[in-house]
Amino acid sequence: MSATLSLDDFKGALGSWASGVTIVTTELNGLVYGITVSSFSSLSVDPVLVLVSLADTNHLPRMIRESGRFAISILSAGQENVSKYFATSGREPAPAFDPSIPTETWLTGCPLIPGAIAQIDCELHQALPGGDHTIVIGRVVGARFDPERSPLIYFRRAYRSLAEG
Ligand SMILES: Cc1cc2nc3c(=O)[nH]c(=O)nc-3n(C[C@H](O)[C@H](O)[C@H](O)COP(=O)(O)O)c2cc1C
């Protein structure tokens, strides 16, 4: 930080950014791992690229570098329990997630969350250093969405839903 910037102000300002909530996963040698991620963004149309920013304290950036692929599920309203599960510490890469969190696979074999508002399968395009995070850029190999669902929203450390109108 600096004399003019406190960590509280930094976090408060960034928490003012209302975002969707995604689950980013990969699969490597029969082991799965995934975390809750809000730092998702579209990046490019030609080529078709998206990005997420992943803390280097997590297993995920290293696993994605090795597996060369990952999946993104954009959560629907009502999937807070899924977000909370994947935001919990201490889940080592394991043969499967908790049975209460069902998953499915599509093109890359990485776990996707059923009932998500959108699912995106990616091959790793580039992994770039970004401070204490890794900026993981994916080339989208498949994307599908459910126009009938509403998104889960995260704002000021609380889960919200869209107020239509
Ligand atoms: C709504 C929400 C958004 C998050 N977004 C990110 C993110 O963009 N990148 C990231 O590395 N971690 C993010 N996290 C934290 C990870 O989910 C969390 O660090 C991970 O599950 C492992 O927990 P641990 O870091 O306490 O071990 C987010 C958590 C929540 C609840």
122: three-class secondary structure by DSSP: strand
Q: Which domains does the chain have, with CATH numbers?
A: 18-157 (2.30.110.10)
The angle formed by the CA atoms of residues 128, 103 and 118, to the nearest 5 degrees, is: 65
**Local confidence pLDDT in tens for the 165 residues of the chain:** 777 999 999 999 999 999 999 999 999 999 999 999 999 999 999 999 999 999 999 999 999 999 999 999 999 999 999 999 999 998 999 999 999 999 999 999 999 999 999 999 999 999 999 999 999 999 999 999 999 999 999 999 999 999 876
> How much is the pLDDT for 2?
77
Give the Å distance between the CA of 37 and the centre of ligand 1: 6
Sheet with 31-37: strands ordered across = 31-37, 22-28, 69-74, 118-130, 133-145, 49-55, 40-44
> How much is the pLDDT for 85?
98
For the chain, what is the total number of helices (H) and then of strands (E)? Answer: 3, 10
Query: Is residue 79 in contact with ligand 1, taking CB distance under 6 Å?
Result: no
Query: Is residue 60 in contact with ligand 1, taking CB distance under 6 Å?
Result: no
Query: Is residue 67 in contact with ligand 1, taking CB distance under 6 Å?
Result: no
Question: Would you give the DSSP letter of residue 81?
Answer: H
Sheet with 158-161: strands ordered across = 19-20, 152-155, 158-161
